[in-house]
Amino acid sequence: MLEIDGLHRHDVDAHGTRIHVAEVGEGPLVLFVHGFPESWYSWRHQLVALAADGYRAAAIDVRGYGSSEAPPDVDDYRIVALAGDCVGVVEALGESTATIVGHDWGSPIAAAAARLRPDVFTAVVLLSVTYDPRNGHRPTEVFRAIGGDEEFYIEYFQEPGRAEAEIAEDPARWLEGFYFGASGDAPELAAAWPSSSGPASRAVSTGIAASTATGTTCGPSTAHPSPSRPFSSAASGTAPPCGGRAASRAIRRPCRACTPR
């Protein structure tokens, strides 16, 4: 695990939800929000770079991942709740504004946070997933269209217990297959995991088999010799399945953190 000089890891109370934060540096706050299936550690290199450039760089474990609180209900993972966590973290850190940066599933969270509280998030950066304004299509319908005749991986999360059972068998090894299957070193089948039939079952298992056969830990293109170790708790929580299941649930309930005071 990469050692970061001056890194402070701690939990904060984000309006009643315990969120784990890793921060370093002093200056204007930049808040990093990771994707699936990751943790604050995904931003380790960015934390160092921004701290060196005079920023207070802070990365969170999204609720349900890593060391943050993992509420049990699907409704707890609505986008408005996740955006509210980001607001709560900024306030808990004693700041009034921040730039928010999201990657993968963190991008919709960052976009929602900036849209709901532009007074708090004065700049937003979205990586991997572009901004998708509200429209007439349910997210689950879009996922189904992406998969075509096969099963898109977020559809795989819709059936309660299905993904959990597979991941729980060996979270660290499941992540080995996931990361290797999505890397540039993956065999053809695993590299096609987003649209493969039974993505976590078929493509991830192919990634596991390939990494075992080659003696590779998540592929040489990765930045850490064993990157699954810092992330192993991310896969064993409730957020991956619940986050995918909550995707089509509209923002109906008010969020105190998302309402300017």
Question: For each successive 10 residues of the chain (261 residues), what is the average pLDDT?
Answer: 92 97 98 94 97 98 94 90 97 98 95 97 95 80 78 76 83 80 64 44 51 48 41 50 54 54 59
CA-based end-to-end distance of the chain: 41
Beta bridge partners of 18: 13
pLDDT at 145: 83
Residue ranges of the domains in the chain? 8-258
Residues 166 and 200 sit within 8 Å (Cβ to Cβ): yes
Q: In this structure, which amino acid lies at residue 120? A: V
Rounded CA gap, 106 and 117, in Å? 16
Give tens-digit pLDDT for 165-191: 888 888 888 888 777 777 777 666 544
Say how far apart CA 20 and CA 18 lie, in whole Å: 7
pLDDT 10s digits, 185-213: 766 654 444 444 444 445 455 555 555 55
Residue located via tokens 């309006």: 15
C-beta atoms surrounding 155 within 10 Å: 16
From 168, 132, 153, 135, select the one nearest 198 (Cα to Cα).
153
Report the b/e string of 83-94 with b at 16+ CB within 10 A: bbbbbbbbbbbe
Q: Report how far Cα 236 is from the mean position of its chain's Cα atoms.
A: 13
- Give residue 94's pLDDT: 98
pLDDT at 106: 96
Which listed CATH number (3.40.50.1820, 2.60.40.650, 3.90.1150.10, 3.30.365.10) goes with 8-258?
3.40.50.1820
Nearest alpha-carbon partner for 236 in 155, 171, 158, 156: 171
Whether this model's pTM surpasses 0.85: no
Query: CB-based burial of residue 122 (10 Å sphere; 0-12 exposed, 13-18 middle, 19+ buried)?
Result: middle
Per the structure block, which two tokens stand in for 151? 């099963």
- β-pairing, 56-60 vs 17-24, is antiparallel
- Burial of 227-258, coded b for 16+ CB within 10 Å and e otherwise, reads bbebbbbbbbbbbbbbbbbbbebeeeeebebb
